[in-house]
Chain A
């Protein structure tokens, strides 16, 4: 009998890694096609050209980097290596996460970083710890945030607006309505003709692609489902404490790459846990970090860093959750339920804290006004 040893992902669904990756590429192409249309409709041909140049630069850099690595470092057959390493998927996902006015040079540097440091030095496809595209994006966002292409038209994104002007809290329904109407309401946010990271705007299309990919067994349906569900519940709790309506959790789901990250990044079979319970815990943890970074962190957007942080915890999750799932079903159910409830409790506490903080600032503001008034009266 002949045993075949491969690094993970080891599927037993009959489809090979190559088929899965081809299906994933098709899904990404559909999303890319929408973003081309989005840019053309909103800002005209100049943005479309820039978008295509960015994508071409990213994919070319990824393939050239892997060719060079195979030829000079590994000294193997370069073309075969590149074909089995799927670097272009990393590049496409990375470009999809960029804002449209990012200049080309950071994309190239970020792609090289993603491919070499994020993937190849760990041993290539199947051996990486972090999601390579997320690693590359983190580098670009941390060190090239000021590097922008000059002549590209863009407007503020929903996430940057709500975090910049409101700190993710809009208690007044009238203000909320006015804010949402800029993007055509929640429906407009779902359809996606607004500015955001290139691939993240059309939540509907992303969901359809996600469902199709799940049906053909390309991605694991459990991760997006639990991730998006947990984001919904956590942000609902936070919003309910602060007196915001049902639009708030929906807004959390529709903006800022939550659906994109759920479908294309968290499901990366290499960097998520292998067991059912592990995947659920992983998704809930990522959702909690996403919401926490958004509402309490200084960054406008939390999907990227939540993915990287949860990638780091995967070995630990594996140790807690590995085992025969149906045999110890009670134990694994307990682990996932406890994780979920702990997340809910944490969000509730964070909401209360924010409420107190807001009340305090309001009181001081009122006092100041009162002081000013008394001063004017005495004068």
Chain B
């Protein structure tokens, strides 16, 4: 029987690098305080992931197996340094608010993990696809967490264009005295992350149970059909 492939949206949940594989959590916990930071971080991680996947995939045939990890790290570190300089030059406010988390993208496990697990074994096109799915998964994770955290800790959402610093939207729903400062702090990041990870795990478990149930039914139906045929 042909196995049903999960749709793109489903794979965002089932193979989410953050909530299912628990990779790259450091930056998620650190910079998910506001939408500005979250979107900036997600874009940065996506671009670095994309280019590192492309480069690693291009040189996969000439990379000696014994020293592949140092090679990947040099590639990723180069890309991150380039990105860091760009951000420092063109988006100084984003640079200030993300601080050292920009350089910490070097050690983001998603990027090294995908270089090792996918890009080093596949051609360029597959690697680009993989980077897109993983980057989208990272975006979903950090965006969801920052939506919750910014809403509870500041009472609303605001988003500004990182290049021009022009406010695109700024909504306030909860009055100042009813905000919960906890969610702006690392404690809030851990709590939000834990709850969301539990939700994702619950969905995954449900999904697997459903698949197993479907497989069982199909088998029973096939057995019944075979019996009838006899």
Q: Assess whether A143 is in contact with B181, with CB atoms less than 8 Å apart.
A: yes
Main secondary structure of the interface of A (DSSP, over half): helix
Residues of B in contact (CB 8 Å), total 11
Does B177 interact with chain A (Cβ within 8 Å)?
Answer: yes
Q: Assess whether A142 is in contact with B182, with CB atoms less than 8 Å apart.
A: yes
Contact with A along B186-198 (1 / 0, CB 8 A): 0100010011001
Does B180 interact with chain A (Cβ within 8 Å)?
Answer: yes
Query: Which of A117, A121, A143 is close to B180, meaning CB atoms less than 8 Å apart?
Result: A143
Residues on the A chain within 8 Å of B178, using CB: 105
Q: How far is the CA of A202 from the CA of B58 in the complex (A)?
A: 75
Q: Which of B181, B185, B194 has the most CB of A within 10 A?
A: B181
Query: Which of B177, B181, B182, B195 is close to A105, meaning CB atoms less than 8 Å apart?
Result: B177
Residues on the B chain within 8 Å of A113, using CB: 182
Residues on the A chain within 8 Å of B198, using CB: 121
Main secondary structure of the interface of B (DSSP, over half): helix
Residues on the A chain within 8 Å of B185, using CB: 143
Does A191 interact with chain B (Cβ within 8 Å)?
Answer: no
Nearest A residue to B153 by beta-carbon distance? Answer: A143
Q: How large is the interface on A (under 10, 10 to 19, 20 to 34, 35 or more residues)?
A: 10 to 19
Q: Which of B182, B187, B191, B195 has the most CB of A within 10 A?
A: B182
Nearest A residue to B195 by beta-carbon distance? Answer: A121
Query: Which of B177, B182, B194, B195 is close to A143, meaning CB atoms less than 8 Å apart?
Result: B182
Residues on the B chain within 8 Å of A144, using CB: 181
- The 8 nearest A-B residue pairs measured at CB: A143-B181, A143-B182, A109-B180, A139-B182, A117-B191, A105-B178, A121-B198, A143-B180
Q: How far is the CA of A113 from the CA of B181 in the complex (A)?
A: 13
Nearest A residue to B191 by beta-carbon distance? Answer: A117
Known pairs A142-B182, A143-B181, A143-B182; list 15 more (Cβ under 8 Å). A105-B177, A105-B178, A109-B180, A113-B182, A117-B191, A117-B195, A121-B194, A121-B195, A121-B198, A139-B182, A142-B187, A143-B180, A143-B185, A144-B181, A147-B177
Q: Which of B177, B178, B180, B194 has the most CB of A within 10 A?
A: B180
Contact with B along A111-127 (1 / 0, CB 8 A): 00100010001000000
Nearest B residue to A105 by beta-carbon distance? Answer: B178
Nearest A residue to B188 by beta-carbon distance? Answer: A143
Q: How far is the CA of A109 from the CA of B152 in the complex (A)?
A: 11
Residues on the A chain within 8 Å of B180, using CB: 109, 143
Q: How far is the CB of B165 from chain A (nearest CB, A)?
A: 30
Q: How far is the CA of A126 from the CA of B181 in the complex (A)?
A: 29
Residues on the A chain within 8 Å of B194, using CB: 121
Q: Which of A143, A144, A147 has the most CB of B within 10 A?
A: A143
Q: How far is the CA of A143 from the CA of B184 in the complex (A)?
A: 10
Residues on the B chain within 8 Å of A142, using CB: 182, 187
Task: Tell me which residues from 51 to 79 in chain A have a Cβ below 8 Å from any Cβ of chain B.
Answer: none
Contact with B along A141-168 (1 / 0, CB 8 A): 0111001000000000000000000000
Q: How far is the CB of B194 from chain A (nearest CB, A)?
A: 8
Task: Tell me which residues from 157 to 204 in chain B have a Cβ below 8 Å from any Cβ of chain A.
Answer: 177-178, 180-182, 185, 187, 191, 194-195, 198
Contact with A along B112-129 (1 / 0, CB 8 A): 000000000000000000
Nearest B residue to A147 by beta-carbon distance? Answer: B177
Q: How far is the CB of B43 from chain A (nearest CB, A)?
A: 31
Q: How far is the CA of A117 from the CA of B194 in the complex (A)?
A: 10
Q: How far is the CA of A143 from the CA of B185 in the complex (A)?
A: 10
Nearest A residue to B185 by beta-carbon distance? Answer: A143
Q: How far is the CA of A121 from the CA of B198 in the complex (A)?
A: 9
Q: How far is the CB of B34 from chain A (nearest CB, A)?
A: 18
Sampled A-B contacts (6; CB under 8 Å): A105-B177, A105-B178, A117-B195, A121-B195, A121-B198, A144-B181
Q: How far is the CB of B151 from chain A (nearest CB, A)?
A: 14
Q: How far is the CA of A117 from the CA of B177 in the complex (A)?
A: 22
